[in-house]
Structure 1
Amino acid sequence: MGLSKQGLAATSIEQTKIRPIPIAVSLMIGAFIGLFSETALNMAFTNIMTDFHIDAHAVQWLTTGYLLVLGILVPVSALLLQWFTTRQLFNASLIFSIIGTIVAALSPNFEPLLVARVIQAIGTGLLLPLMTNVILVIFPPHKRGSVMGLMGLVIMFAPAVGPTLSGFIVDRLGWQSIFWISLPLLALTFVFGLVYMQNVSTITKPKIDILSIILSSIGFGGIVFGFSSAGEGAGSWGEPGVFIPIAIGAIALVLFAVRQLRMKQPMLNLRVFKFPMFSIGVLMVFLCMMLILSTSILLPMYLKGGLLLTAFAAGLVLLPGGIINGLMSPVTGRLFDKFGPKFLVIPGFIITTILSYLFTNVTTETPQTTIIIMHTCIFIGVAMIMMPAQTNGLNQLPRAYYPDGSAVMNTLQQIAGAIGTAVAVSIMVAGQASYVPSAGTTNPMAEALTSGVQNAFMLAFVASIIGLIASFFIKRVNVK
């Protein structure tokens, strides 16, 4: 997507007036609140299941339905970034998040809560690509590792405090209070953005191709929907409601890719994949997201259903790993700026591979201290992979490809999350169903759930092995 000379000139003039720190702070606060409300809800799943009389495969739609909307909306973000100003997209994202939060807090049953998650997802779907693109525009390449590391600190701190704080809230105030607490924070972020957010992107208003939008929505939406439907259990993989959406989605994505490559002004420029480090970075981020989200949904279920902890106690077990992950992000960002990605990514995948294998051996007797250490170590590995791989890949792209690179990276993260969540839950449910209690078992339900979790962690183990193999091919991108 080429930029006009006038557009580049206008951008360079505007750059002299830009205050990057307040802009980055506005975006990061918005992302923090959005991700807090998303991850905090995971700890309330068992309470929601009880209140609304639904089972595990139904409650997972609060996550996978969220990811479904992101999978449809984020690919279009490359187009939106060139049609609307930074302030317009930021304000719209916060408005959707606020409306979704209000609807969620007032939900009398499961269906309105699911609709609220969809509205929240629209807000997040606008904000995440905007944040990545704006950081690429306003910070020079030699500072991006540190800035992306700081972004990682903010983003990962939300999942760190989310389960613990929400566990405390759920045990004492009810799960609806998660949203009531998020609401004033979102309102303050909206006001902060009104004061400090600046327009930094160049508006080119490329031609809108309706067919590309339709193919993208069917393609990404079909795949997320199919995999999410498979979360009902292993037997459901052969059902029409699973394989037909996946097949239709795959065909639509092939047609979408062919169309984008033939267009002079594509909706999503897939030529970003001709840059090898970007492609490797996308693969690593994809695998890392599968690992993160499958772990984030399996561990709360295991801690509450297998170790029989309260929501607050389960949150405390997960807190150290999340905090250290967040604190590691700025460190890995600075190390990336100095040494490049290879010396971070390879050890990172070695750590996640070892720890994900150890998680396949947890039992109902595993000490909480062991879980804390294992969870902390696996998230140290994640911190060594995520931001370095993402930043190195995006650094290889020319400026004109930033919106497309951001959209591709964020879209595939959502697809990975949907696939990881759905497959992990599917494997877990199948493991529960096939569990045969041994003689003398005192709590067969806890044992069955733990058996399912053991099986499901094989998904994270396999993803880590694939990532480890890919990590040996990564090279540092030198940007002039």
Structure 2
Amino acid sequence: MNEKRPYNRGLILAVLMIAAMSGALMQTSLGTALPTLMTAFNIDLSTAQQATTWFLLVNGMMIPLSAYLANRIPTKMLHIVSYVLLLIGISLSMFTPERQDMWWLFVAGRIVAAMAVGIMMPMLQVLIINMYKPEERGTAMGLMGLVVGMSPAIGPTLTGWILNKDHNILGLTLSSDWRSIFVIPFIIIIIATILAPFLLKDVMETKKLKLDVTSLVMSVAGFGLFLWGFTNVAAMGWSDFGQVILPIVAGVLLLAAFAWRQLKLPVPFLDIRVFAKKEFTISTVALLLATMAMYGVEMMLPTYLQNIRGLSTLDSGITLMWGALFMGFMSPVAGILYNKVGVKVMCYFGFGILALGTVPYVFLNATTPTIVISVLYALRMAGIAMVMMPLTTAAMSALPDEKGADGTAANNTLRQVSSSVVVALLTSVVQNVINNNTPSASLKASDSIAYAGQMMNASMDGFQTAFLISLIFAVLGFIFVFFMKSNKEAN
């Protein structure tokens, strides 16, 4: 039940944001480390990306369950359990032996961590809705965006800095080994775990709800099959029926049956009726497009910088650093501006900046100055910050408060699943373009220089195609703004 004594909103939000920082770092910190992991475990790009795609997918699959857990388990207990779960997941990945046959353990750790993050992140939004009045939520969501937005954005830079050389922080030695990229998130979540019993309160009232196991199984199987098909595209190609087409189709059918079941249940596992509210649906779709446009470049760029440009992990991280800083600066500003000018104006500017910043990426080559890449990346992340929290706030404000947990679960589920799909999709696109344009082995034997040049061109074609798809997402997002209301909050 809800604790009757007053609680300090600021202290609760502080603990939640500390924990969210650790979870958010886990989402994208591997981006810069992929080439290092490929070497350490002797795996290819498509296999290495599984650590990201499966994290994002499991994160998305857990979010519908988080709505049930938020109503069933006291706030404090739920968070403490999720923090401990995140500690276990980080530990599994961090201590995986460097062997190709042990890669599954690394991915298993990512899956366990994703389960924890899939509970923590949506709960942060739900608690903000429950603790703050509608007129205060823009600022609170902006502060949340400072952590939830900036942490994954700064992840690649932080990873590059760690992998460049050994570091000594407050007496703690961080070696340049890939395991060290997990140390900082590990320490952060330990701090949150220690503070949680003393500072967190049971903000939401609990209810005796029955878990619909059938819906849970259908959603997990549906999303799992759907992504499994996409992750197999890189290795198998779109013509493979058994491991690509069949899983995707089966996943779509299962998800359709899942949706139909939710409409029939008196108390649905995931209340998709929230999409009957037009403003919620439009804001959510626009948010998905912004998310896919962000990940489409953010997850591909470090590999381009290291494999094509030959940059070190540190230099590739520094190249992306200004984007993280711009996003961190703009997130709270966007929250304040949302309260003043409304979501529609914010999104026109945000998606416009995002699209303009993405256009030059389609024409990147092996000699594009890194300063140009860095400036464009900063511009893109500023545009992302201008739309991300305002769209989230607008979507949640379109629903009554009692539907906040359901709306958050639906919104975040689609966002995380779209993230995992776009990473798997673009990885497969890059890999397929490279495979289709790889020069013959005979050329390698007769003219190694010409072979290297053609391989470079094949890789560039792959990355340019991925960036073009990201541009399409940004343009579609701009178009969707036309259908949004111009008032400050959707009602």
Match among 43, 51, 67 for residue 78 of structure 1: 67
Out of 203-212 and 326-335, give the one that drifted further: 203-212
* Counterpart-to-counterpart distance in 2, 1:418 and 1:471: 24
Partner residue of 2:458? 448
Match among 372, 385, 388 for residue 386 of structure 1: 388
* Counterpart-to-counterpart distance in 2, 1:224 and 1:146: 35
Partner residue of 1:310? 312
Matched, 1:31 2:41: no
Percent identity over the alignment? 31
Shift of residue 342, structure 1, vs aligned partner: 0.8
Partner residue of 1:295? 297
Inter-CA distance 441–53: structure 2 relative to 1 (3 Å threshold): closer
Kept in 2, the 8 Å contact 1:305–1:446? The answer is no
Partner residue of 2:77? 88
* Counterpart-to-counterpart distance in 2, 1:213 and 1:408: 14
Match among 42, 45, 48 for residue 59 of structure 1: 48
Partner residue of 2:144? 151
The CA deviation string for residues 255-297 of structure 1, in whole angstroms up to 9 with x for no partner, is 1111111221111111101111110111011111111222121
Inter-CA distance 237–78: structure 2 relative to 1 (3 Å threshold): farther
Partner residue of 2:193? 190
Out of 470-479 and 430-439, give the one that drifted further: 430-439
Kept in 2, the 8 Å contact 1:228–1:418? The answer is no
Partner residue of 1:179? 182
The CA deviation string for residues 393-431 of structure 1, in whole angstroms up to 9 with x for no partner, is 100111121111010111011111111101111111122
* Counterpart-to-counterpart distance in 2, 1:115 and 1:458: 32
Q: Which amino acid aligns with 1:123?
A: A
Shift of residue 122, structure 1, vs aligned partner: 1.1
The CA deviation string for residues 140-185 of structure 1, in whole angstroms up to 9 with x for no partner, is 1111111111111112221343222211211322110112333222
Partner residue of 1:217? 220
* Counterpart-to-counterpart distance in 1, 2:473 and 2:339: 26
Matched, 1:228 2:231: yes
The CA deviation string for residues 349-374 of structure 1, in whole angstroms up to 9 with x for no partner, is 12222222221100001001110111
Kept in 2, the 8 Å contact 1:167–1:311? The answer is yes
Partner residue of 1:6? none
Q: Which amino acid aligns with 1:49?
A: M
Partner residue of 2:470? 460
Q: Which amino acid aligns with 1:90?
A: H
* Counterpart-to-counterpart distance in 1, 2:483 and 2:121: 28
Structure 2: unaligned runs, 5 residues or longer: 166-175, 440-446
Matched, 1:336 2:338: yes
Shift of residue 24, structure 1, vs aligned partner: 1.1
Give the alignment of 1:90-129 within 5 angstroms.
90-108=79-97, 109=99, 110-129=103-122
Shift of residue 441, structure 1, vs aligned partner: 8.0
**SS at the partner of 1:335?**
helix
Inter-CA distance 265–477: structure 2 relative to 1 (3 Å threshold): farther
Matched, 1:22 2:11: yes
* Counterpart-to-counterpart distance in 2, 1:126 and 1:378: 28
Partner residue of 1:362? 364
Kept in 1, the 8 Å contact 2:279–2:490? The answer is no
Match among 150, 167, 170 for residue 163 of structure 2: 170
Partner residue of 2:35? 46
Partner residue of 2:323? 321
Q: Which amino acid aligns with 2:160?
A: G
* Counterpart-to-counterpart distance in 1, 2:338 and 2:128: 16
Q: Which amino acid aligns with 1:193?
A: A
Kept in 2, the 8 Å contact 1:82–1:204? The answer is yes
Partner residue of 1:273? 275
Q: Which amino acid aligns with 1:199?
A: D
Kept in 1, the 8 Å contact 2:27–2:56? The answer is no
* Counterpart-to-counterpart distance in 2, 1:226 and 1:201: 38
Match among 239, 242, 257 for residue 240 of structure 1: 242
Shift of residue 33, structure 1, vs aligned partner: 1.2
Match among 424, 427, 435 for residue 422 of structure 1: 424
* Counterpart-to-counterpart distance in 2, 1:441 and 1:145: 54
Inter-CA distance 449–202: structure 2 relative to 1 (3 Å threshold): same
* Counterpart-to-counterpart distance in 2, 1:360 and 1:326: 25
* Counterpart-to-counterpart distance in 2, 1:105 and 1:331: 36
Partner residue of 1:352? 354
Q: Which amino acid aligns with 1:379?
A: M
Partner residue of 1:7? none
The CA deviation string for residues 4-63 of structure 1, in whole angstroms up to 9 with x for no partner, is xxxxxx86x84x712111111111111111221332222111111111110011001000
Q: Which amino acid aligns with 2:233?
A: A
Q: Which amino acid aligns with 1:154?
A: V
How many residues of Structure 1 are paired with residues of Structure 2 in the alignment? Answer: 468
**SS at the partner of 2:484?**
coil
The CA deviation string for residues 225-256 of structure 1, in whole angstroms up to 9 with x for no partner, is 222222336x2454321221211111111111
CA RMSD of aligned residues (A): 2.0
The CA deviation string for residues 271-328 of structure 1, in whole angstroms up to 9 with x for no partner, is 1011111101110111111112221211001111111100000000000011101110
* Counterpart-to-counterpart distance in 1, 2:269 and 2:234: 32
Kept in 2, the 8 Å contact 1:68–1:225? The answer is no
Partner residue of 1:5? none
Out of 178-187 and 51-60, give the one that drifted further: 178-187
Structure 1: unaligned runs, 5 residues or longer: 1-9
Kept in 2, the 8 Å contact 1:307–1:446? The answer is no
* Counterpart-to-counterpart distance in 2, 1:199 and 1:231: 45
Matched, 1:69 2:88: no
* Counterpart-to-counterpart distance in 2, 1:103 and 1:430: 31
Kept in 2, the 8 Å contact 1:23–1:198? The answer is yes
Shift of residue 479, structure 1, vs aligned partner: 7.4
Q: Which amino acid aligns with 1:373?
A: V
Kept in 1, the 8 Å contact 2:28–2:52? The answer is no
**SS at the partner of 1:43?**
coil
Q: Which amino acid aligns with 1:151?
A: M
Q: Structure 2 length normalisation: TM-score? A: 0.91
Shift of residue 187, structure 1, vs aligned partner: 0.8
Out of 161-170 and 419-428, give the one that drifted further: 161-170
Q: Which amino acid aligns with 1:342?
A: K
Kept in 1, the 8 Å contact 2:394–2:490? The answer is no
Q: Which amino acid aligns with 1:62?
A: A
